[in-house]
Amino acid sequence: MSHLLEAVDLFKTFRPRRAWPWSKKSVALEPTSFTLEAGQTLAIMGETGSGKSTLSKIIAGVEAPTGGELYLNGQKLNYAQSKRRCQNIRMVFQDSDKSLNQQLTVGQQLEEPLLFNRDMPSSERKQLINSTLRKVGLLAEHAAFYPHMLSTGQKQRVAIARAIILDPQIVVADEALVALDPSVRAQIINLMLDLQKDMGISYIIVTHSPQIVKHIADKILILYRGKMIAFNETERLLTEKQQPYIEALLHEHLTNHSQITGNSSAKVTE
Amino acid sequence: MADIELYYQERNPSPLQLVWFAFKRRLAPMISLWLLGSLLILVILAPVITPYSANVQFVDAISLPPSWTHDGNMQFLFGTDDLGRDMLSRLLIGGRFSFGLPIVIVILASTVGIFIGAMVGADTQSKLRILGRTLDRLLTIPSFLLALVLIAILGAGLGNAIIAITLSLIPQFIYVTRNAVYQEWQKDYVTASRLNGCSNTYLMYRVILPNITPSLVMQLTVALSVAIMDIAALSFLGLGVQSPTPEWGSMLARSLDEVYLSPWSMVLPGISLFITIMAINVVGDSLRRAIKQRMDT
């Protein structure tokens, strides 16, 4: 029985810019192993600089790991295999403003992955773009829009459309919900959950909001200074006694009511 | 979808079109643009529309003042110089060297410079970065001095002047392109396109190039005015265009001797140079302003 995604001892070290060639490399991520099943949601949590972004970038193929292996459906996935990776693992970025090309229309940007990964005539491409736009709650006419004509929530929807247009198995969302205001965030979360139900996508979500994690995650992976200190089902992490750091991370909103994120949980769980 | 026009009567203008709209609204840059356009047409058509050959000497009309003065003659609209050559014909033919050649030079230099700059900027393994850094050192030398050094090696002459100015402009293009490409390369949308599985050529031409057009356009206008100045200066020093061939810079140099006797032979090429360079600078400056306005909104 092979897992959808299995990471074995992934790690990443790098030498800071302007450092001496012989100086010690700093460690962004210590050897990390985890598995992900089809249709499940994995949340990666941790404080700033804990390596959660690095881990998600390695999975999505933005950065090459220094060592370790990644298996997709039991087959080894190399960093260089960009075709196979981008057909199965897609990424949604934190800032939709920056992750969309301002000079191309939404349609042109959605066509891009199709041009390079699917062998289909342009009429079929248009149809697929239309249906994908409708799937994420936009209209077919939005294909002719430029990103600066859309609202932040709509842009994030376009980014999600770009991620799901190739019918991937895994979508990596790196802080994709942070820049949104609470109501839009709730909309996007519900959209993501609907898509998961319809298409059977697995999500890897990087976030530091415990409410969202409790709401959507099946498993939680917690990093502390590049080291994985917990990887377990959400239920068990929440109910069983944990180390203080994990407790603090998971119950942050209960101790600090003044946080803006505190408001969103009510809407999310509606 | 271009074929869906349900509710939208206008096409959605692209960001570059919006820059053009902002540019079009202002008077001075549009006048400058028209000036440059008509100058280009005049220069291209110069051999057809000049009344006389540039080098034919009229013995009975030496140092004739322009036609609107008391002593002027309608046969020679802008007068003649000390050898009896028609100023209008010389100015128009001279424009081919003073305005046409710099355009060719800038096209050459930008093609080479942008190509190398893009390669260096997109290079992630820092193999080519050393080349970029080395060429950056050339920027410490003013481009005209660089051109002079090259002329000193190659020898005077029009062909060598073209080579020298082209070569001296290339480092600036490399610098601007490399920095722009490098900055864009770090941005999320390029990463997103990379994760789409795009080929590197697609990434460069469709993804990055449209986003760095503003800085390239600005560099092009700057380089054009620099090239005009350089070729005029080299000809003024007698290192560029050689004697019987008219060129605004060499015409200026020639008129130095008789500036009190026939001031028009100095003023006319001087004004032509002034207007051309000012028009280019106004266009470049307003483009920068229009782009900035677009970015801010």
- Domains along the sequence of chain B with CATH: 15-56+77-296 (1.10.3720.10)
Pairing state of beta strands A227-233 and A219-224?
antiparallel
Can you list the residues of chain A whose pLDDT is less than 70?
Answer: 1, 253-270
A181 Cβ neighbours under 8 A, 6+ residues apart: A152
CATH classification (class only), A5-268 = alpha beta
Q: ∠ at Cα B95 (B91, B97), nearest 5°?
A: 125
Contact A230, A242 (CB under 8 A): yes
Q: In what order do the strands lie in the sheet with A67-72?
A: A26-36, A5-14, A67-72, A75-76
Q: Tell me which chain B residue has its CA closest to the CA of residue A117.
A: B197
**What would you report as the CA-atom Rg of chain B, rounded to the nearest whole angstrom?**
23
User: Could you tell me if A126 lies within 8 Å of chain B, comparing CB atoms?
Assistant: yes
Cα distance between residue A139 and residue A129, in whole Å: 10
CA B225: distance to chain centroid?
A: 5
Q: pTM of this prediction?
A: 0.81
What is the distance in angstroms between the Cα of A179 and the nearest Cα belonging to chain B?
15
Residue A232 confidence (pLDDT):
84
User: Could you tell me if A17 lies within 8 Å of chain B, comparing CB atoms?
Assistant: no
| Tens-digit pLDDT profile for residues B148-159 | 999 999 988 889
Identify the bridge partners of residue B8 per DSSP, sorted by sequence position. Answer: none
Please indicate whether residue B36 or residue B83 has the higher confidence score (pLDDT).
B36
Cα distance between residue A141 and residue B4, in whole Å: 7
| Tens-digit pLDDT profile for residues A40-97 | 899 998 888 788 888 888 888 888 888 888 888 888 888 777 778 888 889 998 888 8
A101/B193 touch (CB, cutoff 8 Å), yes or no? yes
Pairing state of beta strands A5-14 and A89-92?
unpaired
Q: Say which DSSP state A140 is in.
A: G
Residue B112 confidence (pLDDT):
94
B211/A102 touch (CB, cutoff 8 Å), yes or no? yes
Chain A residues inside the 8 Å CB shell of B187: 98
Chain B residues inside the 8 Å CB shell of A61: 195
Q: Say which DSSP state B14 is in.
A: P
Residue B34 confidence (pLDDT):
95
Residue A259 confidence (pLDDT):
46
The DSSP H or E segment spanning A59 is: helix A52-60
Which amino acid is it at B142? P
Pair of tokens at residue A239 = 């109910």
Q: How confident is the model at residue B40 (pLDDT cuts 50, 70, 90)?
A: very high
Contact B156, B238 (CB under 8 A): yes
Q: In what order do the strands lie in the sheet with A227-233?
A: A89-92, A170-174, A202-206, A41-45, A219-224, A227-233
Residue B32 confidence (pLDDT):
94
Chain B, 13 to 52: residues with Cβ < 8 Å from chain A are 14-16
The mean pLDDT of B203-230, rounded to a whole number, is 89
Q: How many CA atoms lie within 13 A of A204 on its CB side?
A: 31
Residue A265 confidence (pLDDT):
42
In Å, what is the CA distance from A111 to each residue of A143, A144, B184? 10, 12, 21
Cα distance between residue B48 and residue A184, in whole Å: 67
Q: How many CA atoms lie within 13 A of A89 on its CB side?
A: 28
Residue A258 confidence (pLDDT):
44
Query: Of B14, B187, B197, which has the smallest distance from its Cβ to A116's Cβ?
Result: B197
Chain A, 200 to 259: residues with Cβ < 8 Å from chain B are none
Q: What is the ipTM of this complex?
A: 0.80
Pairing state of beta strands A170-174 and A219-224?
unpaired
Please indicate whether residue B187 or residue A22 has the higher confidence score (pLDDT).
B187
What is the distance in angstroms between the Cα of B196 and the nearest Cα belonging to chain A?
5
Pair of tokens at residue A241 = 């006694």
User: Could you tell me if A84 lies within 8 Å of chain B, comparing CB atoms?
Assistant: no
User: What SS3 class is residue B12?
Assistant: coil
Chain A, 143 to 162: residues with Cβ < 8 Å from chain B are 143-146, 148-149, 159, 162
